[in-house]
């Protein structure tokens, strides 16, 4: 996109430099990067960067609008809505295609949005390693909005941990070490301090201590939990009638339903996991 920078980068690029870069990158957490890492960064001109940022801000302005939920209330069927949803996502990743318009100018076109932090910590590591092996043009950075490595990590901590002790915040997932993007879990632990916890390993630890039964199907257990909660809210009006709760307001009934679900799920898990029902 910037011919002079591309030509300069290509002129200094060698297979040996690329392999040395990959070697150092993969050695940070050996065996944890399953996807291909590109040979080069993309050098984005300022005007194109501003177009992308403007597009992002326009979308975020709509999402952050106090009336957003009212405007989009019909987007999700009533019977599949869940309670206690955030007003908006803490993280959004925008995927843009770089296209050429009718005037022959580059313009970003939105491919998709994701409401979760995809590789947000790995994105700290990769430029840190890359800059040791390849030159970075003056006034160019992988960080936007005036952020640098330190201020970006601080922002991640504020969002993910907040005022809590990092020891009390975990990244809980099933089969954490089999996820395609697990390198980001390791990087998040490095930079933010949150430990990744695999549910299956947690159960195995309980089994070793004798707290849990030896034979537990973790996937079916999770399916049972998700299915129970999902079905409860899909059929909540039937359950409302079954429990003679028609006199309650919608808000009062949801509070009651959540309390009963909470007790039921705990009882269910205790029966599945522990040696006593």
Is residue 138 located within the same domain as residue 233?
no
* % of residues, the chain, pLDDT over 90: 51
Residue 67, in any domain of the structure: yes
At 156, list the tokens. 């991640």
DSSP labels for 96-157?
EEEEE-TTS-EEEEEEEEESS-TTTTHHHHHHHHHHHHS---TT--S--TT--HHHHHHHHH
> Do 174 and 235 have their domain in common?
no
Per-residue pLDDT tens over the stretch 103-140? 998 899 999 998 888 799 999 999 999 999 998 898 89
Pair 148, 250 in one domain: no
Q: Are residues 221 and 185 in the same domain?
A: no
Domain that holds residue 84: 3-204
Q: Give the total number of structural domains in the chain.
A: 2
Q: Does residue 144 lie in a domain region?
A: yes
Task: Average the pLDDT over 86-112 and give the result.
Answer: 90
Q: Are residues 138 and 18 in the same domain?
A: yes
In a domain, 77, yes or no: yes
Give the tens place of pLDDT for each residue, 16-66.
999 999 999 999 999 999 999 999 999 999 999 999 999 999 999 988 888
Report the candidate in 117, 119, 137 with the shortest Cα–Cα distance to residue 42: 137
> Do 200 and 235 reside in the same domain of the chain?
no
- Tell me what pLDDT residue 83 has: 67
Do 197 and 233 fall into the same domain? no
Q: Could you tell me how far CA 55 lies from the centroid of its own chain?
A: 21
């Amino acid at each position: 996109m910037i011919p002079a920078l591309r030509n300069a980068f290509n002129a200094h690029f060698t297979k040996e430099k690329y392999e040395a870069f990959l070697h150092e990158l993969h050695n940070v957490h050996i065996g944890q990067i399953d996807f291909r890492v590109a040979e080069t960064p993309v050098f984005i001109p300022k005007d194109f960067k501003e177009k992308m940022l403007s597009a992002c801000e326009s979308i975020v302005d709509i999402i952050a609008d106090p009336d957003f939920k009212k405007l989009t209330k019909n987007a999700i069927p009533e019977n599949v809505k869940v309670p206690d949803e955030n007003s908006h996502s803490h993280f959004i990743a925008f995927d843009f295609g770089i296209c050429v318009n009718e005037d022959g100018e580059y313009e970003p076109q939105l491919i998709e949005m994701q409401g979760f932090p995809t590789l947000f910590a790995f994105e700290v590591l990769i430029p840190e390693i890359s800059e040791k092996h390849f030159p970075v043009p003056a006034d160019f950075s992988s960080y936007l909005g005036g952020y640098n490595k330190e201020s970006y990590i601080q922002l991640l901590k504020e969002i993910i941990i907040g005022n809590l002790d990092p020891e009390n915040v975990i990244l809980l997932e099933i089969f954490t070490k089999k996820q395609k993007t697990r390198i980001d879990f390791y990087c998040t632990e490095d930079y933010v301090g949150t430990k990744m916890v695999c549910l299956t390993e947690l159960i195995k630890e309980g089994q070793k201590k004798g707290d849990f039964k030896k034979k537990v199907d973790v996937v079916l257990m999770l399916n049972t939990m998700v299915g129970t909660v999902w079905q409860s809210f899909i059929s909540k009006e039937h359950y409302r009638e079954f429990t003679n709760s028609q006199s309650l307001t919608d808000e009062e009934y949801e509070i009651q339903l959540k309390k009963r679900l909470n007790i039921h799920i705990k009882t269910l898990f205790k029966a599945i996991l522990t040696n006593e029902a």
